Structure 1
Amino acid sequence: SALAELKDCLPADCNAGYSNSRTCEMGLSHRSGISYQSIVYLVDRCTAAKK
């Protein structure tokens, strides 16, 4: 699999990932051990008004 060595390539402090494809999110999450979610969540987080 193209993702077989993904976990070993990620920085130790990496704890989240983003993707624009749901099927990629599932594969990346499974192979990396970290949670991947839609890029929309990152955009929302970065553009949300600060309180």
Structure 2
Amino acid sequence: SALAELKDCLPADCNAGYSNSRTCEMGLSHRSGISYQSIVYLVDRCTINK
């Protein structure tokens, strides 16, 4: 699989990831051990008034 070595390539402090495809989010989450979400969540997080 193209994602077989993904976990070893991520920085140790990486704890979230973003993608524009739900099926990619699922595969990336499974192979990396971290939670991947839709890029929409990142945009929302960055644009909410504080």
TM-score range, shorter chain: over 0.9
User: In structure 1, how many angstroms separate the alpha carbons of the residues matched to 2:18 and 2:9?
Assistant: 16
Q: How many percent identity over aligned positions?
A: 98
Q: Cα RMSD (Å) of the superposition?
A: 0.6
4+ runs of 1 displaced by more than 2 Å? Answer: none
> Structure 2: where are the runs of 5+ without partners?
none
* TM-score normalised to structure 2 length: 0.95
Q: Secondary structure at the match of 1:2?
A: coil
Unpaired stretches in structure 1, ≥5 consecutive residues: none
Q: How high is the TM-score relative to the length of structure 1?
A: 0.93
Q: How far apart, CA to CA, are the structure 2 residues paired with 1:14 and 1:39?
A: 16
The CA deviation at 1:42 is 0.1
Displacement of 1:9 in angstroms is: 0.1
In the alignment of these two chains, the number of paired residues is 49
CA deviation vs aligned residue, 1:3-45 (integer Å, no higher than 9, x gap): 0000000000000000000000000000000000000000000
